[in-house]
Structure formats: C-alpha cells, structure tokens
Amino acid sequence: MKKIVISLGGSILIPSLSDHTIREYVPELKKIAKKHRLFVVVGGGGEARRYIKLARQLGIDEGTSDEIGILITRLNATLLIAALGEDAYPKVAESHAEAKKFGESGKIVVMGGITPGQTTDAVAAVLAERVGAAVFINVTSVDGIYTEDPKKNPHAARFDRLAPKELLEIVGQTALGAGSNNVLDIVAARVVERSGIPLVVLDGREPKNLSGAILKGKYRGTVVSDMKKNPLPL
C-alpha cells in the first residue's frame, strides 16, 4: 500500500453549508482507501472566508484571523470524519506527528490547519514529507496550474507539467493574507521543491476525478516534478 496525501480544498468540499460535495467525496475516499493509505487535509472553504472577512471588519489582526480559519478547517475535518464513519480515524489530527501516529491504525486520517501564516496546502505538503507519501495531490477548483489566475485572466495558459522551481516562481508573485485564495501557497511550493515528492494539481469540481486519477491515471491537471515518470496511477 502506498501513502497518499490529499489537500482537499474547502472551496471544493464545502464552499458553503448548503452547497457541498461531502456526499460525493465520501465514497471516492473510501474506494481509494481500499488500495492505499490515505491522509486528507481539509480546507476552510466559504465559511472560513466569511468568518475571516468579519474578523477583518472588526479590526482583528491577520494572525488571529488565521486562527479562526484554522478552527473552521478543523470543523470541516470533523464533519468529514463523521461522514466517513468507520473508515476514518475518529479524531482530527492537530499536528503532523499526530497524523502520522493515527495513520498506524490503517484508517483514513483527516486533519485541517495547524499554524497561522499558511494554508492547508502547506500542512499537506509537510505531511507528505513526514509520512513519506508517494504522491501529494492538491484537489482544487481549477484544472491545473496556469501562468496567472485563470479566473482573473481568461488568456492565462495551463501547464501539463512544471518543475518545482517554476512552480515557486509562479506562486511567489502572489500575496498571503488570511483566507487568501491561490492555487497553492508559497510555503507548500517550497516544501514540494525540497521534498522531491511529486505534486499533482487536480480539478476536484467533479469528485469522480479523484479515483479516476489515482487508480486509473485519468485526469486533467498539472504534474509538478523533476521526474520524467508519471506519478499516477499509483
């Protein structure tokens, strides 16, 4: 069994309480976990952004706003664990060490954020290093990495493949405030570069893409790696 770390963006899993894909992702994750050891890092989604917006309106500093964001990611992680039932380890991991320990159970490990100044993508990138993952998958709301944000510039070009150094150049141009919404944060990009673990950025708007990518190698997205070999299927 290979280890897989998935950063499941809140914008995909739970954009709002009335509009979520938890029902669709539960069978996907269970299916993948039959073949591989899964670690899922859940983002904050729309609720985190709404709380952070309110915090800013109240004049609350960025670090505290981040802490509020982290609480929401853990709330989302709790919801996913409950929805996964027996297949998930029953507690949200609050550190990488805890996630590693919980992984020994063989169950799906779920966590959210851990520390201010980053996003759950960075949490997942470090977790991939710590558990020795075969691949790090970032499930997001675009179909890969573009030269610029494709939602802002419709002429932005998509990459099928990128070297970790090129990824760093692209994400280095964007700012990191609480609730910021980039394809990957700079901390995550640096960790991807140093770990050498291949990163696959996948379009998660269609939940079935996840098992299609991992089990069959069928996907549209961007591979970030210096290796020539395709990281998927596993």
User: Rule CB under 6 A: which residues touch ligand UTP?
Assistant: 9-11, 43-45, 48, 52, 66, 69-70, 73, 113-116, 118-120, 123, 140, 178-181
Q: Are 68 and 61 in contact (CB under 8 A)?
A: no
CB of residue 76 to ligand UTP, shortest distance in Å:
8
Shortest approach of ligand UTP to residue 112 CB, angstroms?
A: 7
Residue indicated by tokens 């004049």: 59
Nearer to ligand UTP, 21 or 215 (CB): 21
At closest approach, how far in Å is the CB of 152 from ligand UTP? 14
User: Whose Cβ is closer to ligand UTP: residue 94's or residue 233's?
Assistant: 94
Spatial distance between the Cα atoms of 43 and 229, rounded to a whole number of angstroms: 29
Question: Minimum CB separation from ligand UTP for residue 141, in Å?
Answer: 7
Question: 35 or 195: whose CB is closer to ligand UTP?
Answer: 195
Separation between Cα atoms, residue 218 and residue 230, nearest integer Å? 11
88, 106, 234 from 34: Cα distances, Å: 12, 10, 13
To ligand UTP, the closest distance from the beta carbon of 8 in angstroms equals 8
Q: Residue 231 and residue 12: Cα distance in Å, rounded?
A: 23
Task: Choose between 73 and 211: whose C-beta lies nearer to ligand UTP.
Answer: 73
Looking at the Cβ atoms of 11 and 209, the one nearer to ligand UTP is: 11
Residues 6+ apart with CB under 8 A from 156: 146, 147, 148, 149, 150
Q: Which residue has the tokens 């499941």?
A: 8
